[in-house]
Structure 1
Amino acid sequence: MVMCQLQIFTGRVMFMFVLLGWYFVEPVSSQDGAGSIVGEVLDGMTGVPLVGAIVTLDDDEVGISTDENGHFFLEQQRTGAISVRVDHDGYITRVEPVSINKNTVSFVHFYMSSMDLLLDELKVVTQREREKEGPGLGDIRPTEAESSLTVMKLMAARIPSLTVLGGTYSAAGTPEIRIRGQGSMTVSNTPAIYLDGVRINSQVLMETFAGDVERIRVLKGPSAVSMYPDAVNGVILVDTKRR
């Protein structure tokens, strides 16, 4: 940790000396009306200079690389607003607007975010979305081998928490679906069923084949009710491939 902090401090000191040298010793630009850009690229979490980052202007295909201290220098640039882009393996691309004035040096700092950090944030967001949906009792993505089964038969086989009462698995009868542990013995405890966002009855599940379905989810709990007010006894969500 001490060595890392010393490296950062040393790099910053060197960067300041380089800037002073460019600003006071070198003419900013020999081209009339042009300006220059001086910058550094750092890890946004640790502050460590990033070596070999590719710096490009606007839509230029060819860029320059940062040096061992994460610095770069672009001279003879036209005045006005310009976009500076920085790419580095393992980091999220950054684009910053820079204003270049005649015969001046514009300074810019890039603090890069690690791609691993972004993936961690996405995992957190995904987990929160799952928590909003409530406890999941089943999440099915039908296989090719199951494509000839009806959705009703597939759920009965793949979701242990579901119970099918009465009727058959063909269109000859209309069975009732129960989610174990939900509802009561005195009132209806049939879950709400939605096909592509439209409320349906269980008969439709006997007429829909798994080969036409992308995903089947069974949810329950207060969070499910907050999204589907009629899901007091749980909800079955069927998404077809044509959705």
Structure 2
Amino acid sequence: MKTFLNALIFCLIMVPSALMAQTTVSGTVTDEANAMPLPGVNVIIKGTSRGTSTDFNGKYSIEINDGETLVISYIGYTSQEIVYNGQSTIDVALEEDAAQLDEVVLIGYGSTTKQDATGAVEKVGDEEFNRGAIVAPQQLIAGKAAGVRVTTGGGAAGEGGEIRIRGGASLSATNSPLIVIDGLPIDQRGGAQGGRNALNAINPANIEDFVVLKDASATAIYGSRASNGVILITTKKGSTNQALQVEYGLQASIRRVTNTVDVLSAEQYRGLSSEPNFDTSTLGNASTDWQDQIYSTGVGAIHNITVSKGYESSNFRVNLNHASQEGPLQDLYERNGINGSFVQRLLDNDLKLTLVAKAIQDKYTYVNQGAIGSAIAFDPTQSVFDDNGDYTQYGTSANLAPINPLFLLDNDNYDNNQTIERVIANFNVDYKFWFLKELSFVLNAGIDYAENEGSRFEAPNPNNSGAFPLNEVSNGLNRNTSLDFYLNYKSDIESIDTNIDL
């Protein structure tokens, strides 16, 4: 009887394990039109995070359970879903997606379809954007475009990100791509004096799509400024014959530092007192986690109110935006902006006038980031305040000693504020000549105007008797104007598209 029970228990344990055992399936993904292997194809198991991609020869291998579904997808091709029923090999031939190839993309001097684009062009639309309470527009496309890297500089309030297209090309000059918003090249340096991120002036909720021009052909349009690539940003403008819409959106977020530097606790630090060169008289009676003291939970909120209406020959869209974001060191970023777009069509739609304007106020409240290093180095056996109620310090006999990190974060000891007021406006004229409809004249005129002012106060080093306070006042002005026009001739001649730009 005992042997029978042991056998039964063994079967009950092994049968579910056998049923859940994963098997490995492999195969090759090719192009249906020419049977050529496709590298970099995404092969994932539907409804899970398990997946892989094909190698240079189009081959893949993945572990899968019976009944699960393989999803094979690749840009420019129609995705396929295949249910796994014990096959050892699953070969897939992908078919080109005509809808994707016919998608219209901007290329600087006009527009074309994906299949007719001769350079390395990639479009990321609103439906593909990263979601969440995003303040910096760069974060919308982080990880969404091949060859485009967005690296966040830190976790401070209003922090943007460094954009690189196909890596850097210079050790001394800038490696940032040229940013063009609705046809207007943006000055990312002068327009961001005193700010952490020039693109914070653009409300992410107003962006319709990004188009990335990756190769050297972009310099033929924008000159040497485009040597690191170009990112074209198109904002939302509404549509014709649209009913009146009033929308309100609210996004909230919290931010907190989850990983800190591993340092000695107060108990471990006291354990060093057995060392011969350790001065035990400097030890305190407290147990302070200085990193826990300086970091706090940052709260953020983004409000958007949008009004749009479309008529038979015109349409408009107006957006009011307020965004606030707190950093982990109690720093603060605030943006208030109004964005408007107006489109008017005249002369039987032969003439199209488009005005896009943005007025933005960015406010930054900075903190002394030296508090991070001080929190790592400061004595964990010391209390925040001494017996007199002042911040605990090492004293003037230790000029090079770290400063109490909470002293550095106190607004009475460090105050740094910057305000940036910026206007970005662009006027576009697109006219088709009445005597030759294939010939059109396009004119773009724009301005990017920014003023900034700020102040900074820093208390003297309490560990240095000869130190003195720092007081600074700053202001700046930047104006960038643009005017360009060209003629565009486009006509279908026996299935051949001919474009002449002058």
| TM-score bucket (shorter structure) | 0.3 to 0.5
User: Of the two structures, which has the highest relative contact order with CA contacts closer than 8 Å and spacing of 6 or more?
Assistant: 1
Between structures 1 and 2, the one with greater helix share: 1
What is the TM-score normalised by the length of structure 2?
Answer: 0.21
What TM-score, normalized by structure 1, do the two folds share? Answer: 0.40
